[in-house]
């Protein structure tokens, strides 16, 4: 449906930089709007709150002819396996899940990366059991950090829309060719309506061309035929161990090569507001929106504060952070999870990492009012004064 309408157009430039129209829609609707323009061959769905609505809408796109095949599978592991099979066959695929679904499907994510598949999966993050919670929480991101997939974290519905399209562009680069997870905090993004800017409906990504894949397509049309498609190295000897290790290294290297494409398509792995400030809040996802409000409150009190929005979690902008925080005395990292994975990442990336305060952390359905962030900043400054500088 897409490709027929857009001959002789640079649709990538149009999608990213062209004229856009206003729409007042939810994050779930934004997912469908992105998929509508992504020229997806096949999508596979399994319901889970808060993801379900987006995949209903993707199903409607299939019924209208925007997607060539779509079905509801039996569980998330089966979905991620079937999406892997479909990607093996050389087409563009999409799926989405949430919290417990992510964990149930976990075994397949390193398979996607190891098989070098440019699958795009949306994660509408939520709590995982026990205790059971369907509330917004992004602990699942901490569990996915080392699966080999690239990870982008959306602040709001507009980001969610843009990042899904950007994800395909980055994932399908021949020197990357890795899966991309696009993450949004469930409910806050999926179930709330906001004004977004969308490119015209008849403007879609060009079709995926498996001929540019760095690994042979699994269709019995692409030699060599005598291959094990996946890096099966089951024998315990030095050669197979080394071959396995070098394959892993190449997956990691491909993720590193994604940095320049993230910079090109997304304008960088992070955004800095008020560079040079002494106090920084560093956050990703909806914690960024809460931090913007906290920043406004702090600046109103005359504090020299700035904000870092981290958009790419994998690859992680370690050197950018290190540079942006060079002159900072304090870095407060608010998170929607109990584990504090973002604070850990930042601590591992910068020097003098006692400057990093991993708080506030909210989870299990708690909200993150901006004053909570401001309080953590003040508490840390007070503690810093007591011990003679922070």
Partner 1 sequence: MSKKIITPVASLAHILPEDYRDLVDRGPHGKSVGIKDLGSFKEITEEHPHCAGCGVSLGVRLALAALPAPEDTLVVGTPGCSFFALSQTALNYSNTAFGNQNSVASGLKRMLSIRYPDKDKDVVVMAGDGGIADIGLDMTLHSWFRGEKISTIMLDNEVYGNTGGQESGMSPEGQVLHMAPKGKNFKKIPVFEMARTAGCVYGAKVTIASPKRLGMAVNRAILLARELGPTYIQIYTPCPTNMKFSPADTLRIAKEAGRAHYAFEEFMTEEAAGRIAAMEGGQEVQED
Closest to partner 1 by CB, 10 or 107: 107
Collapsed DSSP state (helix, strand, coil) of residue 134: coil
* Nearer Cβ to partner 1 (204/331): 204
114/360 with CB nearer partner 1: 114
Shorter beta-carbon distance to partner 1: residue 94 or 161: 94
Contact 363, 338 (CB under 8 A): yes
- Give the closest residue to 141 by CA, choosing from 340, 307, 353, 321: 340
Maximum separation of any 2 CA atoms in the chain, in Å: 70
- The residue written with tokens 């990213």 in the block is 16
Closest separation between CB of residue 59 and partner 1, Å? Answer: 15
Dihedral sign from CA coordinates of 383, 138, 39, 94: positive
φ, ψ of residue 90 to 5 degrees: the values are 95, 30
Q: Is the dihedral of CA 26, 32, 38, 43 positive or negative?
A: positive
Output the smallest distance, CB 238 to partner 1, in A: 17
CB of 293 to partner 1, least distance (A): 43
| Distance in Å, CB of 223 to partner 1, minimum | 6
Structure tokens belonging to residue 149: 């997939």
Nearer to partner 1, 77 or 133 (CB): 77
Residue 194 C-beta: closest distance to partner 1, Å: 34
**Within 10 A of 234 (CB to CB), how many other CB atoms are there?**
7
Shortest approach of partner 1 to residue 163 CB, angstroms? 24
Residue 79 or 331 having the CB closest to partner 1 = 79
Cα distances from 153 to residues 52, 91, 157, 298, in angstroms, run: 19, 25, 11, 25
C-alpha to C-alpha distance for 157 and 112, rounded to whole angstroms:
26
User: Can you tell me the distance from the alpha carbon of 238 to that of 172, in angstroms, rounded to the nearest whole number?
Assistant: 33
- In the bound state with partner 1, the residue whose beta carbon lies nearer, of 241 and 364, is 241
CB of 210 to partner 1, least distance (A): 8
List residues binding partner 1 (CB under 8 A). 41-42, 44, 68-69, 71, 73-75, 77-79, 81-91, 93, 107-108, 111, 115, 218-223, 225-230, 232, 234-235
In terms of C-beta density within 10 A (0-12 exposed, 13-18 middle, 19 or more buried), how is residue 107 classed?
A: exposed
């Amino acid at each position: 449906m897409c490709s027929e309408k857009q001959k002789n157009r640079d649709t990538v430039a149009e999608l990213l930089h062209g004229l856009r129209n206003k729409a007042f829609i939810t994050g779930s609707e934004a997912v469908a709007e992105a998929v509508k323009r992504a020229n997806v061959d096949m999508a596979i769905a399994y319901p889970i709150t808060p993801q379900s609505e987006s995949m209903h809408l993707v199903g409607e796109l299939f019924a209208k002819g925007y997607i060539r095949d779509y079905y509801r599978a039996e569980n998330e592991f089966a979905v991620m396996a079937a999406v892997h099979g479909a990607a093996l066959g050389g087409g563009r695929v999409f799926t989405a899940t949430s919290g417990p679904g992510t964990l149930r499907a976990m075994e397949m994510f390193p398979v996607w990366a190891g098989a070098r598949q440019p699958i795009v999966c949306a994660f509408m993050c939520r709590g995982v059991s026990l205790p059971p919670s369907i509330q917004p929480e992004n602990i699942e991101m901490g569990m996915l950090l080392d699966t080999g997939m690239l990870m982008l974290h959306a602040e709001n519905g507009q980001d969610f829309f843009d990042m899904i399209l950007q994800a395909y562009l980055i994932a399908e680069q021949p020197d990357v060719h890795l899966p991309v997870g696009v993450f949004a905090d469930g409910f806050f993004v999926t179930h709330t309506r906001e004004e977004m800017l969308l490119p015209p409906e008849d403007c879609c990504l060009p079709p995926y061309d498996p001929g540019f894949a760095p690994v042979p397509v699994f269709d019995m049309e692409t030699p060599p035929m005598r291959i094990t498609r996946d890096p099966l190295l089951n024998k315990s000897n030095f050669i197979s161990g080394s071959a396995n290790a070098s394959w892993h290294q190449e997956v990691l290297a491909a993720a590193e090569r994604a940095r320049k494409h993230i910079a090109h398509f997304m304008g960088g792995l992070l955004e800095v507001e008020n560079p040079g400030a002494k106090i920084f809040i560093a956050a990703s996802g909806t914690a960024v929106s809460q931090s913007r409000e906290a920043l406004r409150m702090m600046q109103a009190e005359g504090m020299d504060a700035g904000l870092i929005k981290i958009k790419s979690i994998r690859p992680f902008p370690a050197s950018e952070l290190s540079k942006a925080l060079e002159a900072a005395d304090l870095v407060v990292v608010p998170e929607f999870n109990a584990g504090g994975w973002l604070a850990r990442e930042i601590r591992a990336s910068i020097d003098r990492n006692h400057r990093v305060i991993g708080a506030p952390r909210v989870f299990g359905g708690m909200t993150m009012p901006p004053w909570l962030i401001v309080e953590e900043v003040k508490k840390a400054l007070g503690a810093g004064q007591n011990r003679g500088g922070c």
